[in-house]
Structure 1
Amino acid sequence: MDASTEMNLMIDVPEPFSFAQNLAYLLRSPNECLYQIRDGRVSRAITIKEHISIIEISAHGDSSLKVTIKGGTAPISPWLQSEVAKYVREWFDMDRELLPFYEMAREDRLLTQAVSSFYGLRVIGIPDLFEAVSWGILGQQISLGYAYTLKRRLVERFGKQVSVDREQYWLFPSAADIAGLTVEDLSGLRMTVKKCEYLIGAARQIAEGELTKDKLLNAGSLKAAEQMLVSIRGIGPWTANYVLMRCLRMPSAFPIDDVGLHNAIKHVTGSDRKPTKQEIRTLAAPWTNWEAYATFYLWRFLY
């Protein structure tokens, strides 16, 4: 991959925004395989319109991010610079006006400590729909640590490896990469047959254009988008809301059945038991239109 030309971009950050808090979230697993973090900089390979670019992101003072395009398969044109900036803004949810969430959260007994402890954190996104759906499927009913192990196996077996400046980067496999596989092809990942079937089935729907981000965004409502997702075998309400939260950026997406959310509420309240779903609904009543951010902030107490 050509690394002979580098280009630096400056992206203004919104308020509130903390690159340190977002980087701390990205550091949560030593088994992450899609980006590297060193000396306060995060680097990764990204795909934009079938072109691959290596980018490195770091803080530039308190008010901007420095994004270095370190190489790629396309010339660093104004179009590519614009697309890279758009990707970074989406990844860090930088176009979200968070002040209303903070105003609500400071008055909420579950969230007030969270917004103080993690001030400037954004819901880190998964811009690619197939990657988001895959992560939701892989993570079903297993620990977060093992989910990262399954992701690494999938990426290193079926993803693409690229290099620049003698550094190696991985790209998540595309839906087309997985759509033509069989359960036997995935057996080396050591996950359940059902998950293999779910992954291949979702890949086929995405590769064939039956499920797209645009269709979900144009569904008309969160509930309609959720129904589109749960109609796919292997995607239930938890996975659907996770995808709507992390990929479609719907702030009212609410994975209410999430075990991590239950444990976080138990942690914050000091209770000796997990809350019931009805108790969560009561506690979450003030979070209307901010359920995704409330969930993400509460997760940070544990993950």
Structure 2
Amino acid sequence: MEREVHIIDGWHIDNDCIIIDLPADFNMKANLAYLKRNKNECMFEVENETVTRVIVVGENRHLVRLNVNEQNQMIVRFVNGFKTSKPDGANVAAYIREWFDLDRDLTPFYKMAKADQLLKEPVQNFSGLRVIGVPDLFEALCWGILGQQINLAFAYTLKRQFVEKYGDFIEWSGRKYWIFPSHKQIAQLTPDDMAQIKMTRRKSEFIIGIAQLMASGELSKEKLLGLGSLKEAEKSLIKIRGIGPWTANYLLMRCLRFTSAFPIDDVGLHNSIKRLTSGEKKPSKEELLALSAKWAPWQAYATFYLWRVNY
């Protein structure tokens, strides 16, 4: 029986697998190293160079496993018995392309970074790394708020508590694969409802407030992107209770995909710069602004590569 193959914009369906053509400079091992940076991650699993996670498309929840073959193609297999349709295949492929930022031409970034005294070592060591995104706006905002003013390990612990308390899951082969809680569900809660999660009451208030804004339609990814510029989107975000410049730029970088987003107050960024320069003090704001100007319009990628130095 002849295999049915649908060719659509850099990906196709072949025997219920989605096959995504990858950029020549994509390096799966470099990206897996980022995905494996904390064993407490609950939104996906990485094992034997294969990623397993749930991708939600409308009312459908697809448990997928993805890896890269020798032809530099990402193979996406549906493991919960779903027969791939072209519309859902397109949406799953689009999610993965956004997650790994596959449609970005990084040639200008690499040209700039290889000539930069601070970036040349990270881009040489971690070449092929992409800014791994958080495509869902509510998940990205929650992750940004959970991570405020605490270390990364504790932030992962809080996320797991939050997801396992309010999220749903698909169980397969004796394991649970989690689905992030919806803003509609969280909008119905009070801070007292969230008291069992070891976050501050203020963070609970922030997350519930954001969920309510999204449930009412006042806040959406489409509206933020529709503002047309990083500055306008940043202004809109920092008007929201609980979102300051760091959280706003984290969201602009990892969800809204502005390459010039720059979380200037990020401690991990400061530590990386200290490490690479053998400095004793964290860089001053003036020094950071000077570096940022040299990296334009690739500040987000510069930051992501510098973060990679720390783990």
SS at match of 2:42: coil
1:1-303 to 2 correspondences below 5 Å: 7-71=16-80, 75-303=83-311
Residue by residue, what CA displacement relative to the aligned partner does 1:153-194 show, whole Å, maximum 9, x if unpaired? 000000002123443210110111111100011100011111
Shift in Å at residue 75 of structure 1? 4.9
Percent sequence identity over aligned pairs: 52
Distance (whole Å) between structure 1 residues aligned to residue 282 and residue 202 of structure 2: 28
In the alignment, the residues of structure 1 paired with residue 71 and residue 273 of structure 2 have an alpha-carbon distance, to the nearest angstrom, of 32
Conserved? CA contact 1:7–1:70, under 8 Å? no
TM superposition shift of 1:7: 2.0
How many Å separate the matches in 2 of 1:240 and 1:251? 13
1:72-105, CA deviations, whole angstroms, 9 ceiling, x for partnerless residues?
6x65211111111111111100000001000000
Q: CA deviation at 1:257?
A: 0.8
- Would you identify which runs of 4 or more consecutive aligned residues in structure 1 move more than 4 Å? none
Structure 1, 95-104 or 60-69: larger mean CA deviation: 60-69
Letter in 2 for 1:61: E
The answer to whether the 8 A contact 2:17-2:84 is kept is no
RMSD: 1.2
Q: Match for 1:194: what amino acid?
A: R
CA distance in 2, matches of 1:110, 1:179: 43
Q: TM-score, normalised by structure 1?
A: 0.96
Segment of structure 1 superposing worse, 120-129 or 12-21: 12-21
- Paired AA for residue 197 in structure 1: E
Q: What are the ranges of 5 or more consecutive residues in structure 1 without an aligned counterpart?
A: 1-5
- Residue 50 of structure 1, CA deviation: 2.6
- 3-state SS of 1:184 partner: coil
Partner SS, residue 194 of structure 1: helix
State TM-score, norm by structure 2: 0.93
Opposite residue 211 of structure 1, the aligned amino acid is L
Alignment partner of 1:30: what SS?
coil
CA–CA distance in 2 between the matches of 1:249 and 1:283?
A: 20
**Cα contact 1:264–1:302 (8 A) shared by 2:** yes
Using the alignment, how far apart are the partners of 1:215 and 1:87 within structure 2?
A: 19
Q: Which has the higher contact order (CA 8 A, sep 6+)?
A: 1
1:169 partner amino acid? Y
Check conservation: 2:16, 2:83, Cα contact below 8 A.
no
CA contact (8 A) 2:262 2:292 kept: no
Kindly provide the CA deviation profile for residues 221-276 of structure 1, in whole angstroms up to 9, marking residues without a partner as x.
10100011111100001000000100011101110111111111111111111101
1:43/1:10 Cα in 2 relative to 1: closer, same or farther (>3 Å)? same
**Partner letter of residue 36 of structure 1?**
E
Which stretches in structure 2 are left out of the alignment for 5+ residues?
1-14
User: How far apart are residue 15 of structure 1 and its match?
Assistant: 2.7
Secondary structure of 1:115's match? helix
